């Protein structure tokens, strides 16, 4: 998506007419359905005046292309300013300009991180040159024309308000300055020369079109590139908050070696790169000869990662790198240098097959490690036993005497980078209110199917490309065929549809098996993993009545351990039990609906619910038909006679 695009001559006319910020704002509102802050509007006005001066002084052709707020494909990151044309050798070229309003900055001891006054305080942020370079690298990763050199990408940074730039140009940041030169207020002539060197001829926005509409390379899968990462190769560029979290963790690891126990809590929603940062940390810390382990409660990610590494290193080495969250029941204090806990919201209180070992997994992990890094998303807690919410992590860390830091990952790299899609899912499921009430204008394929057969056909067709599409469902059908592959578990007789749950023999590797596309997975076999396309079946545990989400935990299979203890809790405290079950059901479907990087197909067993999602996806919900937040949720339970109340 490009918010504003024009020929250089048209851009200059908008600046001269003092309407440039209004043109950008109108385009932004039209394309996103939302507005933005007055401070951002003022920054557009200010920065575009300076950019226009540079373009005119550099004699950039009037028919060169200009794009403002260019969204990088398959991410939610936006490039401030993009200039396109051809260089002296007649090569198609795009100049990426990262614009900053800063007037001063300070160096830090962290790679690519500087400090500046922002939001009322001095904060650590990424070096502008690093930002510009990573944006170019992202485009190169996903756009075939840029990747193979048919479009040359030239990143730079321009800080037009900054006079004293010595901190940003410190030798410590030399590597990033070489990749993307930085120009400050006194560098106007150098900036003009840079622009003139790379854009000699106009292209009438043809390069812009190729960057926005060009054929995309397949999205990178962490599992597919894991072995290469562990061998020290750069497979993923860490963007913005990802890089800041990575550097903060390395800094805290060094501090922890001096005897001060450290805990870093990193909050991030689906697709924000939690696992990518976690694995990159594992590689970097191991390279520094620190004992680091990657920890998850859910076995599926560990099983997939271990399978992908088979044959590349000894099995004992693999096992020592990837651990279950219950591995530290009897661990001595500070036995491990760093424990990296992915999907920390899935941590349990007790460990062991029967949930009767140890004191508390969170406390045990913190005690066992000099530094514990927890990646968490409270809205992905999907069982009654999940206790690793952010507030508990913080209180446990403080109880153990650890120094606690909290950070957040917000940039979206799943669902084609669409923050809007995730906001829409939160809204329609009533997880969190959002202004995103429709899917209009979002670069993500979402389709409500008329039948389970249609859903299966679409997933099978997509899976034929690269074995990265699967069907998943809420756990509303008994797993009768756990040991007998001939039994079809997920049966919808009214549609003549039957499919089996994933085979027990595949365990956490279900998502990798080529023939499993005909099977149905559940939250336990796909959480923490990603697909290209996901087909989601919403069962009778979540319904829509009168435009409101209602949940019924009694419609879950009695075999589902997610709601183990629900019935006894219901007798002790009915409202608390129903609220907890309601949140679990909503979180389960939120997680399932966000497994697909490119698209999601949905079918609901209840016709009214199916109609609700179709309406919500196409034209927004009917007036008054708003999904309710969990605290005020309507939830049902069923008595012994089968009566719903």
| pLDDT, tens digit (0-9, with 9 covering 90-100), for 63-88 | 999 999 998 876 778 899 999 999 99
Alpha-carbon distances of 193 from 159, 181, 187, 611, rounded to whole Å: 16, 12, 10, 58
Name every residue whose Cβ is closer than 8 Å to that of residue 367 and which is 6 or more positions away in sequence.
328, 331, 333, 334, 400
pLDDT value at residue 412: 61
* pLDDT < 50 stretches in the chain: 622-645
pLDDT tens digits along 573-623: 999 999 999 999 999 999 999 999 889 999 999 999 999 999 998 865 543
Residue 125: strand pairing partners: 114
DSSP code, position 196: H
- Sequence-distant (6+) residues with CB within 8 A of 464 are none
Q: Which pLDDT belongs to residue 625? A: 46
- Judged by DSSP in three states, 388 sits in coil
3-state secondary structure string, 262-314?
EEEEEEECCCCCHHHHHHHHHHHHHHCCCCEEEEECCHHHHHHHHHHHECCEC
Strands (E), 414-530: 445-448, 469-473, 490-492, 497-499, 520-521
DSSP state of 482: S
Quick check: 352 and 360 in contact, CB under 8 A?
no
Question: What is the spatial distance between Cα 131 and Cα 236, in angstroms, rounded to a whole number?
Answer: 14
Residue 176 and residue 173: Cα distance in Å, rounded? 6
What's the confidence (pLDDT) of residue 172? 96
pLDDT at 455: 98
Q: Looking at the chain, how many residues does it have?
A: 645
Kind of pairing, strands 548-552 and 542-545?
antiparallel
- The pLDDT value given to residue 642: 32
Smallest CA-to-CA distance from 100 within 35, 153, 165, 173 is with 165
The whole-angstrom separation of Cα 335 and Cα 537 is 44
pLDDT of residue 220: 74
Q: Which two tokens stand for residue 484?
A: 């007998």
How distant, in Å, are the alpha carbons of 84, 290, 418, 461, 617 from that of 599?
Answer: 30, 39, 11, 13, 13
Q: CA angle, corner 36, sides to 114 and 72, nearest 5?
A: 60
Q: C-alpha distances in angstroms, 368 versus 274, 392, 469?
A: 22, 18, 38
The gap between the terminal CA atoms of the chain, to the nearest Å, is 47
Per domain, the residue ranges of the chain are 2-213, 222-409, 415-636
Give residue 632's pLDDT. 39
- How far apart CA 630 and CA 579 sit, in angstroms, is 7
What number of CA atoms fall less than 13 Å from residue 405's CA on the CB side? Answer: 20
Residue with tokens 């913190």: 366
Q: Beta 78-86 vs 92-99: how paired, if at all?
A: antiparallel
Report the alpha-carbon distance of residue 412 to residue 235 in Å, rounded: 18
- Angle, vertex CA 191, rays to CA 85 and CA 11, nearest 5: 50
Strand partners, 182: 157
- The fold for domain 222-409 equals Rossmann fold (3.40.50)
């Amino acid at each position: 998506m490009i918010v504003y695009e024009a020929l250089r001559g048209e851009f200059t006319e908008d600046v001269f007419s003092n309407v440039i910020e209004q043109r950008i704002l109108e385009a932004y509102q039209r394309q996103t359905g939302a507005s933005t802050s007055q401070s951002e509007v003022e920054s557009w006005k200010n920065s575009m005046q300076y950019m226009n001066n540079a373009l005119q002084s550099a004699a950039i052709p009037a028919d060169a292309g200009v794009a403002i707020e260019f969204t990088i494909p398959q991410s939610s990151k936006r490039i401030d300013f993009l200039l396109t044309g051809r260089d002296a050798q007649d090569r198609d070229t795009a100049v990426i300009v990262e614009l900053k309003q800063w007037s001063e900055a300070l160096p830090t001891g962290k790679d690519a991180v500087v400090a500046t006054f922002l939001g009322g305080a001095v904060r650590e942020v990424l070096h502008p040159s690093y930002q510009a370079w990573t944006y170019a690298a992202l485009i190169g990763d996903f756009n075939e024309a840029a990747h193979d050199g048919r479009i040359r990408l030239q990143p730079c940074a321009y800080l037009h308000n900054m006079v004293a730039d010595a901190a940003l140009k410190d030798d410590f940041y030399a590597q990033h300055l070489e990749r993307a030169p930085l120009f400050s207020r006194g560098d106007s002539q150098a900036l003009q020369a840079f622009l003139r060197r790379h854009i000699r001829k106009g292209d009438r926005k043809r390069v812009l079109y190729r960057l926005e509409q060009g054929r995309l390379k397949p999205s990178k899968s962490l599992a597919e590139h894991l072995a290469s990462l562990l061998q020290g190769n750069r497979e993923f560029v860490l963007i913005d908050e990802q890089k800041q979290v990575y550097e903060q963790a390395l800094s805290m690891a060094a501090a922890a070696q001096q005897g001060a126990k450290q805990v870093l809590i990193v909050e991030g929603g689906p697709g924000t790169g939690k696992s990518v940062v976690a694995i990159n940390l594992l590689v970097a810390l191991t390279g520094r000869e620190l004992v680091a382990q990657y920890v998850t409660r859910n076995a599926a990610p560990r099983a997939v990662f271990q399978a992908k590494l088979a044959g590349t290193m000894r099995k004992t080495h693999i096992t020592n790198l990837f651990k279950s969250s219950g591995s530290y029941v009897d661990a001595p204090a500070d036995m491990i240098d760093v424990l990296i806990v992915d999907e920390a919201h899935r941590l349990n209180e007790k460990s062991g097959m029967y949930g009767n070992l140890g004191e508390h997994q969170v406390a045990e992990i913190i005690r066992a490690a000099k530094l514990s890094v927890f990646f968490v998303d409270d809205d992905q807690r999907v069982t009654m036993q999940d206790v690793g919410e952010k507030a508990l992590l913080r209180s446990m860390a403080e109880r153990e005497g650890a120094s606690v830091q909290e950070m957040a990952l917000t940039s979206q790299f799943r669902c084609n980078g669409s923050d809007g899609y995730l906001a829409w899912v939160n809204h329609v499921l009533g997880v969190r209110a959002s202004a995103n009430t429709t899917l209009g204008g979002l670069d993500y394929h979402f389709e409500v199917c008329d039948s389970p057969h249609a859903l299966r056909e679409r997933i099978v067709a997509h899976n034929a490309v690269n074995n990265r599409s699967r069907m998943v469902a809420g756990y509303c059908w008994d797993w009768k065929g756990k040991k007998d592959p001939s039994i079809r578990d997920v049966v919808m007789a009214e549609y003549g549809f039957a499919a089996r749950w994933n085979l027990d023999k595949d365990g956490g590797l279900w998502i990798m098996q080529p023939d499993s596309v005909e099977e149905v997975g559940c939250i336990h076999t796909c959480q923490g993993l990603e697909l290209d396309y996901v087909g989601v079946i919403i069962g009778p545990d979540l319904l829509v009545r009168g435009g409101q989400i209602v949940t019924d935990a009694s419609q879950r299979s009695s075999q589902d351990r997610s709601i183990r203890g629900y019935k006894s809790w219901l007798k002790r405290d009915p409202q608390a039990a129903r609220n907890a079950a309601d949140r679990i059901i909503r979180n389960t479907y939120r997680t399932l609906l966000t497994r697909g990087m490119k698209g999601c197909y949905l079918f609901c067993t209840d016709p009214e619910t199916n109609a609700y999602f179709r309406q919500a996806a196409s034209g927004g919900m009917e007036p008054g038909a708003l999904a309710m937040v969990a605290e005020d949720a309507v939830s049902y339970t069923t008595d012994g006679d089968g009566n719903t109340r």
